[in-house]
Structure 1
Amino acid sequence: MKKKPGLFSLILLLIMAAIVPVNHAFGKEEGEITVTSKVVNVREGAGLSFPIVKKLAKGESYPIIKEEGDWFEIRIDSNETGWVANWLVERKSGTAFAKKGSGQGTITGSSVRVRTGPGTTFQTVGSLTRGTAVDIIEKNQNWIKIKTADFDGWVSSDYLKIEAASGSTVKNDDNNKQESAKESVKTGVTLVDRLNVRSEASKSGSTLGKLNKNTSVTVHRIKNDWAEIDFQGGQGWVAVSYLQMSEDKAKTAMAPAADTARVTASRLHVRKDASLSAKIIGSVNKDETYSILKTKGKMTQIQLSNGQKGWVVSWYLEKEHVEEPKKKKLHIEGNKITIIHDGTILRSSPNGNAGIVRQANAGETFPVIGMEGDWYSIKVKGGKTAYVAGWIVTLEGNSEQIQRPGVETYIKGKTIVIDPGHGGRDSGTIGVGGTLEKNLTIRTAELLRDKLQAAGAKVILTRSGNTYVPLSSRVGTSHIHDADAFISLHYDSTMDQITSGITTYYYHDYQQGLASALAHSFGSTMQVNNRGSRYGNYHVIRENKRVATLIELGYLSNPVEELTITSNEYQEGITSAIYNGLARYFK
């Protein structure tokens, strides 16, 4: 009788299955999920089109095997797995969603404000001087959360140099040699129109978009005649031959060598590290002067006479030369403020009880001559000086906008669902320069989420990353979480390349108040044309039983506006405007 060759193989597989731990069959576990909805369907695959294999009840927990887009594969029992949507569950281990940073950074500005959240809307908790070393907690496109010995908070990424990891290298694809990847940040200006930005340092790299002539870019490194630049919230590559490079930012941002301090204690210990428990390596005496290298918390690093470096307690030092961190008015002189509301009172001094100089109406502009606290000093007709509260006007230029303290109190505790339009196979509109709407909406959504979370709101995104989510599921997310506000983010397009502006839509009467508050905020703060709030028949607001709005945040079909709305400045401004509009609505 002839032997069946498959029988032996089958027996061998069964033996191996008994020996190999179950964990190996399912892959490495990555934390646990807890069901937050009343009933959650478990499906055969990562998508709503797959059959339902099981239903889970609220409060049940299951181990995660892997994550794919907006779906978790979970282990149901010892030999069964399935997929659940991440917007219906909560991950116990938040590591996959956290934007955690690592390492240290150094403050490069002379007097950098630390805020309670990622935006100028948030209150100031302190300030840091140039050269202060900080620990990095997390970061987004424009802001970095830092920690010092005294406090933690957010600072603008423009004023923080992130220390590169020592010895880090990248692989050169052309010759397989290792080259240094140490970051040397420079700026450049494009020399040609419609310059291709590519995904790789090669002409064969896919085109991410285009830049117009005279566009300023941040350059991180040069590789094989290609420059890596910041582009649309990520990085891209352009040919170096089409850039005019400027000086290295890192060099100009270093603390001046002339900063010195005099010892005020009779005898002061010098320690090896920035800690009072660190090893003592020497001492300095009263009235001796030393160069300041950097500051970390309550400790300052100084240069000793023998060339050695050490740390001393900061309060026993008296700085003898410090670069001027003040003169705040230097940042606003020459700018203009615009009155937001009719009947705004201009006062004789920076105080709400001061005498009235005159009243101004919405749209009037005045030159700014200075700032005292949260009040602008301005010139009115006849050359007279008057004062106006900074939070009831808009300021032209790049200076930060003053906000009335306590705005975040209106947002704290609210549940807000942010819906980044399109995703996955649905790219949305494509800009003249190649910008994909789906990429821009997720970029805007993440910046807005960070601001709202910092104010204490519970924020849910209908999608994370480049994934497709059906419209019904987006609305379902709003209902499941009983959203206090649902905001769908989009960018517009039309055949007419001149059309521009922001449009805010509502469908039901109960949604009109939110749309109106947001439109008012855009009109008060954004330089892009504000088209106001209006009725719109869109699924995510029509079928939504919660207060919801859909916003078209600008026209990608307009080549000039495309360059504006993809800039860091616009993304920061538009998310701050939405944040302030929500505060106005909840107030």
Structure 2
Amino acid sequence: MIRKNRTNMICFILLFTAFLLNSSVIKAENKHVIINVEQDYVRSGAGLTYSVIAKVKKGQTFNVLEKKRNWFKIKLSPTSSGWIPSWFTIKENTDSKLANKKTTNYEVISLASGLRIRSGPGLSFDMIGSFEYGKTAIYLDKSGEWTQILYSGKTGWVSNSYIEKTNRTSTRMAKGIVTAPILSIRDKGTFTGKVLSSLPKNTEVMILQEKNNWYKISFKNKTGWVAGWFIKKTADTHFDTDLSKSDQTVKIIFDGTNIRSGTSTQNTIVKRVNLGDTFQILETDGDWYKIALDDRKSGYVAGWVVETSGVTDPIRRPGAAQYVKGKTIVIDPGHGGQDGGAVGNGGTLEKNLTLTTAKLVYDKLKSAGANVFITRSTDTYISLNSRVSTSHYRNAEAFISLHYDSAVDPNASGTSAYFYHSLKDAPLAFRLNKELAQQTRLNDRGVKFGNFHVLRENHSPAVLLELGFLSNRTEELTINSTSYQEHASQGIFNGIAYYFK
């Protein structure tokens, strides 16, 4: 009995001591806490019996004015404060852990000079710092028109109107100059995107993101997408130091690709890799990428046999542009107007898709110095005779008619090239088919004879391309993608270039 009473007395003393310690009021000015639950109530006093005066959300950061027992008194605005339970918060020095846990894929870029960072999501909250133009911060959370960021070791909130959220694995920031006389800014990286505005030649822009040869750019606090081949990177290109170069990778697009010891096909082969293999880029050397191999060694791969991720200015196949410079080429997007062409299972109209591809090819040829013409640039009906007449009037050195296929067999797939005259047309058809198959990696249906009006009546070398099957559900999705359109147009460009070579 004596031992039991003594034990009870010791427990009572410990509990009473803890109560005294927790009952003291601790000044905690200039400390910060982050709300760690989806929603919490702010009360008028340090206890659950006090009235609710406000609500706070997960991720919000507040200045701590006092600590009383297990409650924090926080500053809600310059003129108001309230109490929240300490067990629903985390200290600010755990910000980096929170950021790593919540967001490893996203950053935001400041589009304004000296953008104010506030302690909470609203203009009533205190300014705790500034987010400089062109700098990046880690994205943490979003509340209405405000975004929470981790910047220079501190968390805070900035207005959504002056930032751009970007994927860290595909972004490199740089500056560039517009090279086209007038360059359209669109709401997405494709010619189907809505035109938002335009930029005149020699305008300097900030490049925020690169995707399939389109650049997301910033100009005077506005953003949008432009065709990347009309932007020339300036000499003072700046890559943000917060973005690791390890985000840059290459993906092999051919089986049996050679990895060499140096930047030439004369260098020894150190390894052979296959379609789909992915490697980290260590550096760029001319037209070659130095990559990290699995065995902790490195090697070089030609830039024109890989796809890249995280690279703003990817390497192109060298020398192709020189062969089309000054050449007269007519691109013929099939169908149009009341002639919709084939219709996909998902409702895709052939006439729309051929026009999208044609414009991409047109821009690539134009930027390479070709005299390029297009038989229709809008959704209008053009007769077959008129298409051929355009070729004759322009004295075309190559005529390419673009189409998408359809078949009763829902599994039919792939690309094909058609010619009519074996001597006049076939060399162009074979070259286009080869480059197209390499770029798109769809089923290669080969080169075939085709008794089509635009081929048969054409005096110029002429080819009709079928670029995939709309009647195949899977292939319809593929050929509608921006990635496929870019690869298909690049394959057509390469085919024309190496035909003239």
Q: Does residue 445 in structure 1 map to residue 369 in structure 2?
A: no
Q: Is the 8 A contact 1:502 1:553 kept in 2?
A: yes
2:442 corresponds to: 528
The Cα shift of 1:137 comes to 3.4
The Cα shift of 1:557 comes to 0.8
Task: Extract unaligned runs of 5+ from structure 1.
Answer: 1-104, 119-134, 166-182, 186-217, 219-232, 234-296, 299-313
Distance 1:430 1:555 in 2: 10
The Cα shift of 1:367 comes to 4.1
Letter in 2 for 1:357: I
2:217 corresponds to: 160
Aligned positions of 1:286-301 closer than 5 A = none
Q: Is the 8 A contact 1:336 1:396 kept in 2?
A: yes
Q: Does residue 554 in structure 1 map to residue 468 in structure 2?
A: yes
Equivalent of residue 142 in structure 1, options 183, 190, 201: 190
Q: Is the 8 A contact 1:112 1:159 kept in 2?
A: no
Aligned residue for 1:495, secondary structure, equals coil
Q: Is the 8 A contact 1:110 1:324 kept in 2?
A: no
The Cα shift of 1:142 comes to 3.3
Aligned positions of 1:199-210 closer than 5 A = none
User: Which structure has the larger Rg over C-alpha atoms?
Assistant: 2
| Closer/same/farther in 2, CA of residues 107 and 584 from structure 1, 3 Å limit | farther
Aligned residue for 2:463, secondary structure, equals strand
Equivalent of residue 566 in structure 1, options 480, 489, 492: 480
Q: Is the 8 A contact 1:117 1:454 kept in 2?
A: no
Distance 2:220 2:441 in 1: 35
| Closer/same/farther in 2, CA of residues 497 and 326 from structure 1, 3 Å limit | same
Aligned positions of 1:260-409 closer than 5 A = 323-324=241-242, 327=245, 329-332=246-249, 335-339=250-254, 346-349=259-262, 351-352=263-264, 355-358=267-270, 366-373=277-284, 374-378=287-291, 384-391=297-304, 393-395=305-307, 402-409=315-322
The Cα shift of 1:402 comes to 2.5
Aligned residue for 1:395, secondary structure, equals strand
Letter in 2 for 1:372: E
2:126 corresponds to: none
| Closer/same/farther in 2, CA of residues 467 and 339 from structure 1, 3 Å limit | closer
Q: Is the 8 A contact 2:248 2:308 kept in 1?
A: no
What are the superposed Cα offsets for residues 105-128 of structure 1, whole Å, 9 maximum, x if unpaired?
A: 99985424748889xxxxxxxxxx
Aligned residue for 1:579, secondary structure, equals helix
| Closer/same/farther in 2, CA of residues 377 and 575 from structure 1, 3 Å limit | same
The Cα shift of 1:514 comes to 1.1
Equivalent of residue 473 in structure 1, options 368, 386, 389: 386
The Cα shift of 1:499 comes to 1.3
Letter in 2 for 1:491: Y
TM-score, with normalisation over the residues of structure 1?
0.46
What are the superposed Cα offsets for residues 304-343 of structure 1, whole Å, 9 maximum, x if unpaired?
A: xxxxxxxxxx9xxxx9x9543561x4221xx531447x8x
| Closer/same/farther in 2, CA of residues 473 and 366 from structure 1, 3 Å limit | same
| Closer/same/farther in 2, CA of residues 106 and 548 from structure 1, 3 Å limit | farther
Q: CA RMSD in A?
A: 4.2
Distance 1:113 1:421 in 2: 38
Distance 1:107 1:367 in 2: 26
Equivalent of residue 173 in structure 2, options 111, 132, 142: 111
Task: Extract unaligned runs of 5+ from structure 2.
Answer: 1-162, 192-197, 228-233
Aligned positions of 1:144-293 closer than 5 A = 147-148=201-202, 157-161=214-218
Q: Does residue 545 in structure 1 map to residue 456 in structure 2?
A: no
Q: Is the 8 A contact 1:138 1:146 kept in 2?
A: no
Letter in 2 for 1:330: D
Letter in 1 for 2:486: E
The Cα shift of 1:158 comes to 4.6
- Percent of paired sites with the same residue: 40
Distance 1:585 1:490 in 2: 20
What are the superposed Cα offsets for residues 384-442 of structure 1, whole Å, 9 maximum, x if unpaired?
A: 53222222x23376867522344211111111111111112211111111111112111
The Cα shift of 1:529 comes to 2.3
Aligned residue for 1:494, secondary structure, equals coil
Aligned residue for 2:280, secondary structure, equals strand
Letter in 2 for 1:419: D
| Closer/same/farther in 2, CA of residues 450 and 365 from structure 1, 3 Å limit | closer
Between structures 1 and 2, the one with greater helix share: 2
| Closer/same/farther in 2, CA of residues 476 and 355 from structure 1, 3 Å limit | closer
2:407 corresponds to: 494
Aligned residue for 2:447, secondary structure, equals strand
Q: Is the 8 A contact 1:427 1:437 kept in 2?
A: yes
What are the superposed Cα offsets for residues 527-550 of structure 1, whole Å, 9 maximum, x if unpaired?
A: 332322222221111221211110
Aligned residue for 2:477, secondary structure, equals helix
The Cα shift of 1:515 comes to 1.1
Distance 1:112 1:531 in 2: 41
Query: Which segment drifts farther, 106-115 or 398-407?
Result: 106-115
| Closer/same/farther in 2, CA of residues 338 and 383 from structure 1, 3 Å limit | farther
Aligned residue for 1:557, secondary structure, equals coil
The Cα shift of 1:345 comes to 5.5
Distance 2:383 2:203 in 1: 47
| Closer/same/farther in 2, CA of residues 113 and 433 from structure 1, 3 Å limit | farther
| Closer/same/farther in 2, CA of residues 354 and 500 from structure 1, 3 Å limit | closer
Distance 1:117 1:504 in 2: 33
Distance 2:444 2:330 in 1: 23
Aligned residue for 2:425, secondary structure, equals helix
Equivalent of residue 516 in structure 1, options 430, 453, 464: 430
Distance 2:308 2:442 in 1: 13
Distance 2:200 2:248 in 1: 24
| Closer/same/farther in 2, CA of residues 473 and 501 from structure 1, 3 Å limit | same
Distance 2:406 2:421 in 1: 24
TM-score, with normalisation over the residues of structure 2?
0.53
Aligned residue for 2:329, secondary structure, equals strand
Distance 2:381 2:362 in 1: 19
Instruction: Report the number of matched residues.
Output: 312
Aligned residue for 2:335, secondary structure, equals coil
Distance 1:357 1:138 in 2: 44
Distance 1:497 1:463 in 2: 30
Distance 1:106 1:531 in 2: 43
What are the superposed Cα offsets for residues 144-187 of structure 1, whole Å, 9 maximum, x if unpaired?
A: 8765567999986552246699xxxxxxxxxxxxxxxxx9x9xx
